[in-house]
Amino acid sequence: MSKNELHLPSLRLAPQQLYQACDPAQFAFASTAELEPLSELIGQLRAFDAVRFGAGIRHDGFNIFVLGPPGVGKRSMVSQMLSRQARSEPAAADWCYVNNFDHPHKPQAMRLPSGRGTDLQQQLAQRVAYLRSAIPALFEGEDYRAKAEAIGQAFTTRQESAFKELGEAAGQQHIVLLRTPSGFAFAPTRDDEVMAPDEYEKLPEDEKQRIAGAIAELQKQLEKILHHIPQWMKERGEQLKQLNRETTGAVVTQVVDELRSRFHDLPQTSRYLDQLQHDMIENADDFRHEDETANLSGLTVVNRKTFHRYQVNVLVSNGEHAGAPIVSEDNPTYGNLIGRLEHIAQLGALMTDFTLIKPGALHRANGGYLLLDVRKVLMQPFAWDALKRALQTREIRIESLGQMVSLVSTVSLEPEPMPLDVKIVLFGDRLFYYLLQQYDPDFAELFKVAADFEDRIERSAETHQLYARLMATLCAKEQLLPLDRLAVARVIEHSARLVGDAQRLSTHMRSVADLLQEADFWAREAGLAAITENNVQQAIDAQIHRQDRLRAQLHEAILRETLLIDTQGAVVGQINGLSVLQLGDFAFAQPTRITATTRLGTGEMVNIEREVKLSGAIHSKGVLILSSYLAARYARNQPLALSASLVFEQSYGQIDGDSASLAELCVLLSHLANVPLRQSLAVTGSVNQLGQVQAIGAVNEKIEGFFDICVARGLTGEQGVLIPQANVKHLMLRRDVLAAARAAQFHLYAVAHVDQAMSLLTGVPAGEAGAGGQYPADSINRRVATRVAELGALRKGFAKPPEETKQKNRRK
């Protein structure tokens, strides 16, 4: 007997191989209330070291990309690590925008030590409020009024003196200077009275000429005086303005000097205060009047003078936080990342100034850490490019989207860019990381640290203890009842089931937390003081029940024979495959009938699913492997003169994966050998060109899917499932399946080669080729080889002799 000709019992798995239980006796505690909580996630040493390195290194481009599926606790662990790191770092600076008095459309960015920005804002606001009351009081004082009146009186005296001298000069020539509503005029006089026009006409001609000449000369002198009057008025205005400066300067200098002494250690602030002092003195008149208001069409418009320009716009203040800031932005739009310019509508126009500059996440995280979800960033228009540009230039430049894409050409603010010193931490699935590595040339330069989180860890006695502490941590965090030892063991077993591996545990903390919360609900309903094993099982069953409507309908269709599945008897060219359906977080399997036909042909393997475009690439690859296996094993020295068809019966959706390739090969061999296959067995497994059976996924769900149908129809003791030998370590079956296996009512077989599967399915030895390449008589392989040889002979018989073909061509 060859090693491939194995009897059925030798491949049957023992019940203890179907489930790796967690022994509660290994736990020394009565409940998780006695355990110390965990400070970090278990089994994530690689990711922990990467985050620690990325947070510590300060060179350009060493930003962090945290890889891994959602729900493993990436964000919470990274946040905890960064919090510890941030506490040991210096506090971030405050950042403000202040008015640029020389170029108001280019506000100045100002950096101040932590907490000093708010102090400057408050102190300056208090000083401006004081000046708004103090300066008007100075202008209303007697001293100022006396000086202003003296300046006005000097102007009046100078003007009147000039006109008086001109009048006296005119009087000497018997001409008078008259003030009229339209201006000044000269007229001749007689006996100090203005001469009437008719009297003037009676004068001798030479007298008229004398008067005309005198008036002309006086007119020139008058024009000179009138020409000097604007200059005198300007001089008066300059004198008044200088008086205003002197009056304002004293109090403004005193107030600003107080601010200088308070911020003397900040050179940039001192320069700004110099500019502020100069502007206040130059615009002293603005302090003398209240804000002007106007009512236009029911709208009140306020002219805030220039006091608005003396405000300090504190963009970021870190005075209340110790250490470096840690910012998480859940809505990373373009504006929320780099900041934005807000506008105020006034009379149909949008107005803005430096006080309407609003910070973005980069501003708030400057000097610290910014946590972002890469998927959300990529979904927001222009956000990803803006983030990269900020990291590349190491500055935050606030631009509106309209300006950036040149959609608007109106004059707007151009805030001075702020220097950027931030560590970006991106969270996302592995798919995003590898796609960005492939298609974004800037990504590798900007995100040099990858922190890859495990989705599973090795199962051992040590990890069992750590998992128990993890449950204690979750219970404390969520204020849940503690778990007893049996409940902890059941959760660990369920964790292994979640990851589909008896030797591994899931690190998907969200699933574990959800399970504990549901178990807590059932325990409290029962009035218990701790969560028991029954509560955990009740939560597991409830989770499945809420999602298994479609599974129940499909199973009902099989039991009512709407979907044709046999679980007894034997049929040639027909086998039960197992397919898995994934609905969100819920996966289940059902048996699927696979049939095959073979006939004389040219070696063509027809995958009907592929022909109608219902076959995925991996499934099509699996079918092509079958044709290679058949040709290599049974037609090595001759053409493969057969055509075969494979189909998943009553399948109307997309099919992918190669987990049915073992079943497809077995059904092909069954049809070629004309040997019936046991319908009480279902088959799952992938096969390669050498006939070796390879591991597949979702092995537990596939076994349970066939088991449920068999139970519904009645277990006979002959039913079971063939699985790859490599999948034995993944088995974590339901307890009802275990009970049926212990009672020898349902069986699991582990196969490593297609020959073993065929022996189990047919009860006939597969057979191994001897020294001459012949298979034993009555073996499966002998029958297949004989059929392949027959088909080769048939094909040769149908071929026409060359001479006959030539004669036929000549006749044509």
Rounded to an integer, what is the distance from CA 507 to the centroid of its chain? 22
Q: How many CB atoms sit inside 10 A of residue 532's CB? A: 21
Rounded to whole angstroms, how far apart are CA atoms 102 and 98?
A: 12
The single-letter DSSP state of residue 483 is: B
Rounded to an integer, what is the distance from CA 643 to the centroid of its chain? 52
- Checking phi first, is residue 787 left (phi over 0); if not, alpha (psi -120 to 50) or beta? alpha
CB 396 within 8 Å of CB 420: yes
DSSP assignments along 205-247, one per residue: HHHHHHHHHHHHHHHHHHHHHHHHHHHHHHHHHHHHHHHHHHH
- Which residue in this structure is represented by tokens 């499934």? 619
CB 355 within 8 Å of CB 398: no
Using CA atoms in the order 490, 491, 492, 497, what is the torsion angle rounded to 10 degrees?
Answer: 90
> Is 729 noted as a catalytic residue in this protein?
no
Q: Which two tokens stand for residue 617?
A: 């690439």
Q: Which two tokens stand for residue 463?
A: 């990890």
Write down the catalytic residue from 659, 680, 759, 779: 659
CB 427 within 8 Å of CB 75: yes
Can you give the length of the chain in residues? 812
CB 99 within 8 Å of CB 355: no
Write down the catalytic residue from 74, 317, 645, 702: 702
Rounded to whole angstroms, how far apart are CA atoms 87 and 110?
A: 25
The Cα-based distances of 609 to 176, 646, 649, 652 in angstroms read 121, 8, 10, 9
What interhelical angle do 461-478 and 485-499 show, nearest 10?
110
Q: Which two tokens stand for residue 272?
A: 């700004």
- Which residue in this structure is represented by tokens 């001479």? 803
CB 449 within 8 Å of CB 63: yes
CB 372 within 8 Å of CB 425: yes
- Which residue in this structure is represented by tokens 């509106």? 400
CB 279 within 8 Å of CB 101: yes
* One-letter identity of residue 433: Y
Strands 720-724 and 681-683: parallel
> Is 10 noted as a catalytic residue in this protein?
no
Closest of 615, 632, 570 to residue 769, by C-alpha = 632
Q: How many CB atoms sit inside 10 A of residue 382's CB? A: 16
Rounded to whole angstroms, how far apart are CA atoms 174 and 189?
A: 5
Residues taking part in catalysis:
659, 702
